[in-house]
């Protein structure tokens, strides 16, 4: 029935301006029109189901509650039909002729005047239906109400300033929307594309969504949203299968969390810890972020603001009826609800990982997690401002006592010596070099365990990890470190330090030869088997911050180190007896200094030591 058969009715809002805003400012993908119409159809079915709980006089009460989508390429149309509550002639005029009834003019005016993001000003507007005009030359809506005595009616518009409402013929209850496609939107008339859009955006709508007709009629959605089922009713195999459908990853997840809460917000969710950090070639999830649903309708494919950055590896879906949407459903408004959702989800991920870490029956799972995603946890400790302590139990590291196994902070504290007041650690680049570090001499001799931090991100993490329980963390390379109590059961040092005069002479030799490459040369009682070590001079930036600046390539020059010598070492005692100007003496001093540089990871060119090492080898053979 054409518009000329009935007098046109003016829209109660500046529809052309509003449509222009909807199409060009709020919707980024034209396929969203189908999601909106399916969502509206689902709402109509839900309303009917609620009506039928108390009303026995519903027209065609035994009809299947479903949505059907068909396409006609020749006619250039798409038709969306539901068997929902339907509308009368008056309801068509009210529901489709008035956009937000009272706020449309204010919205348009604000959109013109405001320089802010439209999502901050639009509020809640019931305009999803009008997204059809992104692809439509005209739209026809034929509807028959659930009321037994109601008559069918037709609404029609070409998206201009008016619409028409006329009587119509429709035997079945519900609503049929026919979209006459624009020339540049004819690809939407392919059934395979319609099925694809339904699976992407409306896969978990609570009613069957059929695409096609006759023999080609197929259900395009899964209907059952696993995350909305009771966890006790779901088998592990079903969770794993859902994860595979979500990601197309072959490897099962390491852990999962099924979340159902009603307070402080209503929330359903399924979160997974992947078994790998590498997405497969066929993986469906090409980006980080969770799939965000509202009432089982997909809002965003990759929503990144429901978890902190350091948990970006988590996969899953989140669904809530409390999510505040803007007019297009594509963007979520800034709202305290979203902050509460993020807090709940972040806490549940942390709890899930703690449970995985404490699973004594499958310790290899957490080992795999740590070796795959451990840097993310360290990043969290570095950047988290309010609750970083909750991440401490997730940490794992190597130590001098357990070099081949992962230890937690709780493990370390459990192995501490009686009376030990601090947790000791050492920072370096290579575990093998660190194992030979002269900074460990005293601690190794007296049985103190030292944590070995070897990853780049460790320096950042230590800025946020300065205390665990009642124990401060202490870098054993610090020059001003107060040494813990010596082990009284150890035999006394059997070597005797060289006379002060000889040592002073040796220090002068080192200072003369090394010049301004070091800030000072002095004795230390910290060393046992090692000849020398390098430490920072007093008042300089800590080693952790120095490494952070170096990694970030900040304009910062590493301070010249202090060379500390072991006055008990036999090599130095022998060096004192050698002539000052002897070439071999000078080579030995250079090698002692550069070996210390090498162990600290500071040597700019280790290969340059080879000729000198060969010189010393030749001298030794003579």
Q: What is the mean pLDDT of each successive set of 10 residues along the chain, which is 622 residues long? A: 67 66 65 88 89 89 96 97 96 78 51 47 53 91 95 92 92 97 94 93 89 93 85 92 84 94 90 85 74 81 91 94 64 74 95 95 94 96 90 96 94 95 91 87 94 91 92 92 80 74 94 95 91 88 74 71 94 91 92 92 90 92 85
Q: What is the spatial distance between Cα 208 and Cα 205, in angstroms, rounded to a whole number?
A: 7
CB 377 within 8 A of CB 391: yes
Strand pairing partners for 259?
Answer: 269
| Domain range list for the chain | 3-219, 226-364, 397-492, 500-534+558-621
Give the other-Cβ count within 10 Å of 28's Cβ: 9
Q: What is the spatial distance between Cα 146 and Cα 51, in angstroms, rounded to a whole number?
A: 9
Q: What is the spatial distance between Cα 39 and Cα 172, in angstroms, rounded to a whole number?
A: 20
Domain 3-219: CATH class, spelled out? alpha beta
Assigned superfamily of 500-534+558-621: Heat shock protein 90, C-terminal domain (1.20.120.790)
What is the pLDDT, as a whole number, of residue 102?
38
Q: Phi first, then psi: what are they for 406, rounded to 5°?
A: -85, 135
- Which CATH number does the domain 226-364 belong to among 3.30.230.80, 3.30.70.20, 3.40.50.720, 3.40.50.1260? 3.30.230.80
Query: Which DSSP helix (H) or strand (E) runs through 378?
Result: helix 363-383
Contact partners, residue 322, CB within 8 Å, separation at least 6:
265, 266, 267, 337
Cα dihedral 107→108→113→118 (10° resolution): 60
3-state secondary structure of 398: strand
What is the pLDDT, as a whole number, of residue 335?
72
Residue 598, CA distances (Å) to 414, 512, 532, 592, 609 in order: 33, 21, 12, 10, 10
Contact partners, residue 249, CB within 8 Å, separation at least 6:
243, 274, 275, 276, 279, 280, 283
Q: What is the spatial distance between Cα 388 and Cα 346, in angstroms, rounded to a whole number?
A: 12
Residue 279, CA distances (Å) to 133, 253, 275, 426, 600 in order: 38, 13, 10, 34, 37
Q: What letter does residue 79 receive in the DSSP assignment?
A: E
Q: What letter does residue 26 receive in the DSSP assignment?
A: I
What is the pLDDT, as a whole number, of residue 601?
83
What is the pLDDT, as a whole number, of residue 272?
97
Residue 282, CA distances (Å) to 222, 237, 307, 316 in order: 21, 21, 25, 17
Note if the pTM is more than 0.75. Answer: no
How buried is 571 (Cβ within 10 angstroms: 0-12 exposed, 13-18 middle, 19+ buried)? Answer: exposed
CATH code reported for the domain at 397-492? 3.40.50.11260
């Amino acid at each position: 029935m054409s518009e000329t058969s009935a007098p046109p009715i003016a829209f109660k809002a500046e529809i052309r301006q509003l449509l222009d805003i909807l199409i060009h400012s709020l919707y980024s993908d034209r396929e969203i029109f189908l999601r909106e119409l399916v969502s509206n159809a689902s709402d109509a079915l839900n309303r009917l189901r609620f009506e039928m709980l108390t009303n026995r006089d519903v027209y065609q009460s035994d009809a299947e509650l479903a949505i059907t989508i068909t396409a006609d390429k020749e006619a250039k149309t798409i038709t969306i039909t539901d068997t929902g509550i339907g509308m009368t002639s008056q309801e068509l005029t009210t529901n489709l002729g008035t956009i937000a009834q009272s706020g449309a003019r204010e919205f348009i005016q604000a959109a013109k005047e405001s320089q802010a993001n439209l999502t901050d000003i639009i509020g809640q507007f019931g305009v999803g239906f009008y997204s059809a005009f992104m692809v439509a030359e005209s739209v026809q809506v034929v509807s028959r109400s659930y009321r037994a005595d109601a008559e069918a009616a037709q609404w029609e518009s070409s998206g201009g300033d008016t619409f028409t409402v006329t009587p119509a013929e429709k035997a079945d209850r519900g609503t049929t929307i026919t979209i006459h496609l624009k020339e540049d939107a004819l690809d939407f008339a392919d059934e395979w594309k319609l099925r694809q859009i339904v699976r992407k955006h409306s896969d978990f709508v609570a009613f069957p969504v059929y695409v096609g007709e006759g023999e080609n009629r197929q259900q395009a959605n899964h209907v059952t949203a696993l995350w909305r089922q009771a966890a006790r009713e779901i088998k592990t195999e079903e969770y794993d299968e859902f994860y595979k459908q979500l990601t197309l990853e072959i490897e099962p997840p390491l852990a999962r969390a099924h979340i159902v809460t009603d307070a402080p917000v209503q929330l359903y969710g399924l979160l997974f810890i992947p078994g790998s950090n590498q997405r497969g070639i066929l993986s469906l999830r090409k980006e980080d972020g969770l799939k965000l649903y509202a009432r089982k309708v997909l809002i965003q494919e990759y929503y990144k603001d429901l978890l902190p950055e350091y948990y970006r590896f988590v996969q899953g879906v989140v669904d809530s009826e409390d999510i505040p949407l803007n007019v297009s459903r594509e963007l979520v408004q800034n709202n305290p609800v979203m902050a509460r959702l993020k807090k709940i989800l972040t806490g549940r991920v942390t709890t899930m990982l703690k449970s995985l870490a404490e699973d004594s029956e499958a310790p290899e799972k957490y080992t795999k997690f740590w070796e795959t995603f451990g840097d993310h946890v360290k990043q969290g400790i570095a950047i988290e401002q309010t609750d970083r302590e909750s991440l401490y139990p997730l940490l794992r590291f190597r130590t001098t006592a357990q070099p081949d196994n992962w230890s937690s902070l709780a493990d370390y504290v459990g192995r501490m010596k009686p009376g030990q007041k601090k947790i000791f650690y050492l920072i370096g680049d290579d575990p093998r070099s660190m194992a030979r570090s002269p900074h460990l001499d005293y601690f190794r001799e007296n049985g103190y365990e030292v944590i070995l931090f070897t990853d780049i991100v460790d320096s950042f993490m230590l800025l946020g990890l300065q205390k665990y329980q009642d124990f401060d963390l202490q870098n054993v390379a610090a020059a001003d470190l107060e040494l813990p109590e010596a082990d009284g059961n150890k035999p006394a040092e059997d070597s005797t330090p060289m006379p002060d005069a000889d040592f002073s002479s040796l220090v002068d030799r080192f200072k003369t030869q090394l010049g301004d490459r070091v800030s000072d040369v002095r004795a230390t009682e910290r060393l046992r088997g090692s000849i020398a070590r390098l430490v920072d001079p007093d008042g300089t930036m800590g080693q952790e911050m120095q490494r952070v600046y170096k990694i970030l390539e900040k304009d910062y020059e590493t301070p010249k180190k202090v060379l500390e010598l072991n006055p008990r070492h036999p090599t130095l005692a022998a060096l004192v007896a050698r002539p000052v100007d002897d070439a071999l003496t000078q080579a030995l001093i250079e090698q002692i200094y550069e070996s210390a540089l090498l162990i600290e990871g500071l040597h700019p060119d280790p290969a340059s030591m080879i000729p000198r090492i060969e010189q010393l080898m030749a001298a030794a053979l003579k």
